[in-house]
Amino acid sequence: KNEVEQSPQNLTAQEGEFITINCSYSVGISALHWLQQHPGGGIVSLFMLSSGKKKHGRLIATINIQEKHSSLHITASHPRDSAVYICAVSGGETSGSRLTFGEGTQLTVNP
Amino acid sequence: NAGVMQNPRHLVRRRGQEARLRCSPMKGHSHVYWYRQLPEEGLKFMVYLQKENIIDESGMPKERFSAEFPKEGPSILRIQQVVRGDSAAYFCASSPLSQLALTDTQYFGPGTRLTVL
């Protein structure tokens, strides 16, 4: 079992829909990261959070430390949101600051 | 402020050759991480370096792979005697990571796509 599990693996939505991607982890962490990998391969850090909730534009990330679970929400989705969304954790006792990644969620938003 | 730079962006090598991948961190960042993404797989940690020090190389294959981050110049990931299984995207990330912080945002470079023929 991977230390970081994401669901779903693939997600197809219509433009305007509200999207949720889930991430569960099984190790102690200091922070959880959400990343976006564009179709061209580049990786952008969207959020780093250790508690509560963060919002940036149409993106919202939440984390529940007790349940070891995080969600990434996209409101009013748009075709340009199509990308792979990756959950990663860091700051564990044995892992230090390096990132441990989930397998990613391929999101496709159709017009 | 330039982001993390990697070069080359694409690298083609024949089996048995050496591959050198370079990473220049963001200005002011002294921590560099290398990650590998094999085809159709997720990202995996390889090595974590600070200037002139390897902090964690637990993700590096034991043979043929080495990394350095000299006092001056970029970080280098070196793969000797490449094999087809080394074909992957190699990403570098940097962070400022203060001494008090256990973790910090990592900023990724565009990656080097290595193809071994």
Phi, psi (deg, nearest 5) at residue A64: -120, 105
| A105 residue type, one letter | T
Query: Chain B: nearest CA to A104, how far in angstroms?
Result: 7
Grade residue A96 by pLDDT with cuts at 50, 70 and 90. Answer: confident
Q: Cis omega before residue B61 (within 30°)?
A: no
Mean pLDDT, all residues of chain B? 92
Q: Among residues B39, B42, B38, which one has the least CA distance to residue A5?
A: B42
Token pair 């990202």 is found at B43
Per the model's pLDDT, the better-predicted residue between B52 and B103 turns out to be: B52
Q: Does A29 have pLDDT greater than 90?
A: no
Q: Does A56 have pLDDT greater than 90?
A: yes
Distance from C-alpha of A32 to C-alpha of A49, rounded to nearest angstrom: 5
Mean pLDDT, all residues of chain A? 93
Nearest to A97 among B42, B44, B102 (CB): B102
Cα distances (angstroms) measured from residue B64 to each of A35, A54, B77, B87: 30, 42, 11, 14
Query: Chain A: nearest CA to B54, how far in angstroms?
Result: 13
With the C-alpha atoms ordered B6, B50, B41, A63, is the resulting torsion angle positive or negative?
A: negative
pLDDT of residue A28: 83
Grade residue A80 by pLDDT with cuts at 50, 70 and 90. Answer: very high
Nearest to A45 among B55, B107, B110 (CB): B107
Distance from C-alpha of A106 to C-alpha of A14, rounded to nearest angstrom: 14
Per-residue pLDDT reduced to its tens digit, A5-28: 999 999 999 999 999 999 999 988
**Do residue A96 and residue B95 have CB atoms under 8 angstroms apart?**
no
Per-residue pLDDT reduced to its tens digit, B76-106: 999 999 999 999 999 999 988 665 556 678 9
pLDDT of residue A9: 95
